[in-house]
Amino acid sequence: MIKVVKFGGSSLASAEQFKKVGDIIRADESRKYVVPSAPGKRHSNDTKVTDMLYACYNAASEGKKYKELLDRIKDRYNEIIKGLGLNLSLEEEFKVIEKKFVEGAGSDYAASRGEYLNGIIMANYLGYEFIDSAEVIFFNEEGDFLAEKTNVILSKRLKGIERAVIPGFYGAKESGEVKTFSRGGSDVTGSIVSKAVKADLYENWTDVSGFLVADPRIIDDPKVITTITYKELRELSYMGATVLHEDAIFPVRKEGIPINIRNTNAPEDEGTMIVESTCRQPKYTITGIAGKKGFVAVNIEKDMMNSEIGFGRKVLGAFEKNDISFEHVPSGIDTMTVFVHQPEFEGKEQAVLSEIHRVASPDSIELESDLALIAVVGRGMKSTRGTAGRIFAALAHANVNVKMIDQGSSELNIIIGVSNNDFDSAIKAIYDIFVTVQL
């Protein structure tokens, strides 16, 4: 059996956390390939190493004082090395990093050094081979990930290596320039490695015991989801649930490799299993609730809209022309509403409205701001009658006014629009009706 294990920044923030990680890896012989993140926060007032690297690079590349910032980064790593009792020096690595910072090697290069250096420490600590991700993970010159080239080269490189450490978060363009994934991209690296070695399981270790039914900042001690499908996870991730980088799903999904979200600080917890499909019935009708604030509803009215061919395309074209993506487009016979991100829309609102008037000649356009969208997701909803009725009854009981309802044809999720001010109350009401009352 082959397992790929990825550890997040909080799992590798200090020597003590490294020791926990080492114990976890050594406890299972099948944990053969390790993907580390950069050191995260040791406590709430601490700074992530990636943020320290950005600050140091900005100062160095702009000709400002940076030595103190660089020394603080060195201290973080030396503290880990000393705590682990390793005979290891990163001084030569830091000389190269300093030179490239001053030369302006780029913010992607700067950010990637957190994972790179942690990877060297991890490989030394475990006695595994270190593989620089810049040599095996590739992007084109436009910055697009080259999945096929990466899989071929990474598979070949790892074929003869029984145990290895491959740093997360970065790769390189074909020119050799370092390129990073978006923040949280170490999750993606773990998925890419899992595909390359045809792993049986991809374990993603973090600081929570799995994927939670709802945001713990809103719900006190929410329940853990034991099993979730890729489709459900995509819906929840898109609406703000952030345990796993949403792009991490694609490489393993194609190979049928499950992902197990685990807690470094509670390794005995089984966590959440993310799978392509399952015959297991969920404990609750819903799998999870997630949402985002900060939307605007652009309400467009025009008599006989439904009989005007191309009306919707013209309206959405006005948003496309202004580089604004839309979230949802519920419509009626004479009405059409386009939900967009408020910060993205505000600076271009008049240009968008003018374009809609020009191309579609609506009778009226009204804007409603400060809205939130909430996704109620669950494979069990399809086979359970009255799910939508229970949701709206719960919201009515909580005095939450529903602004929009949108249900996909898959019956996997229901999207609800509410005022920003009602966001927390709405999530609590939905959680209570589906989870609390069943406990």
Distance CA(166)–CA(403), nearest Å, equals 47
CB 253 within 8 A of CB 246: no
Positive or negative torsion for Cα 408, 409, 413, 418: positive
Residue 292: beta bridge partners? 373
DSSP E strands in 106-210: the ranges are: 129-130, 138-139, 164-165, 170-173, 178-180, 201-206
Q: Which residues of 409-425 are buried (b: 16+ CB within 10 A; e: fewer)?
A: eeebbbbbbbbeebbbb
Helix, strand, coil in percent for the chain, rounding step 5: 45, 20, 35
The two three-digit tokens of residue 350, written as one number: 């008049």
Rounded Cα gap, residues 69 and 75, in angstroms:
10
Burial class (CB in 10 A: 0-12, 13-18, 19+), 439: exposed
Tokens encoding 313: 């395309």
Pairing, β 138-139 against β 178-180: unpaired
**214 sits in which H/E element:** none
Q: Residue 439: its pLDDT value, please?
A: 55
Cα distance between residue 315 and residue 338, in whole Å: 9
For residue 157, give every residue at least 6 positions away whose Cβ sits within 8 Å of its Cβ, in sequence order, or none: 131, 135, 136
Query: What are the sequence ranges of the domains in the chain?
Result: 3-207, 288-438
Q: Give yes or no for a contact between 337 and 297, defined as CB atoms under 8 angstroms apart.
A: yes
- In CATH terms, 288-438 corresponds, of 3.30.2130.10, 1.20.120.450, 1.10.230.10, 1.10.1280.10, to 3.30.2130.10
Taking CA atoms, 426 is separated from 85, 390, 405, 412, 418, in Å, by: 51, 13, 13, 19, 8
Residues 115-149: pLDDT tens digits? 999 999 999 999 999 999 999 999 999 999 999 99
CATH number of 3-207: 3.40.1160.10
CB 70 within 8 A of CB 100: no
Helix (H) or strand (E) holding 308: none
Tens of pLDDT along the chain (439 residues) come to: 999 999 999 999 999 999 999 999 999 999 999 999 999 999 999 999 999 999 999 999 999 999 999 999 999 999 999 999 999 999 999 999 999 999 999 999 999 999 999 999 999 999 999 999 999 999 999 999 999 999 999 999 999 899 999 999 999 998 999 999 988 889 999 999 999 999 999 999 998 899 899 999 999 999 999 999 988 888 888 787 777 887 888 899 889 999 999 999 999 999 999 998 888 777 888 999 999 999 999 999 999 898 899 999 999 999 999 999 998 898 888 999 999 999 999 999 999 999 999 999 999 999 999 999 999 999 888 778 888 899 999 999 999 999 988 886 667 889 999 999 999 999 999 999 999 876 5
- Do residues 190 and 35 touch, judged by C-beta distance below 8 A? yes
pLDDT of residue 410: 67
* Cα–Cα distance for residue pair 334/304, rounded to 1 Å: 6
DSSP per-residue letters across 31-87: EEEEEE-----SSTT---HHHHHHHHHHHHHTTS--HHHHHHHHHHHHHHHHHHT--
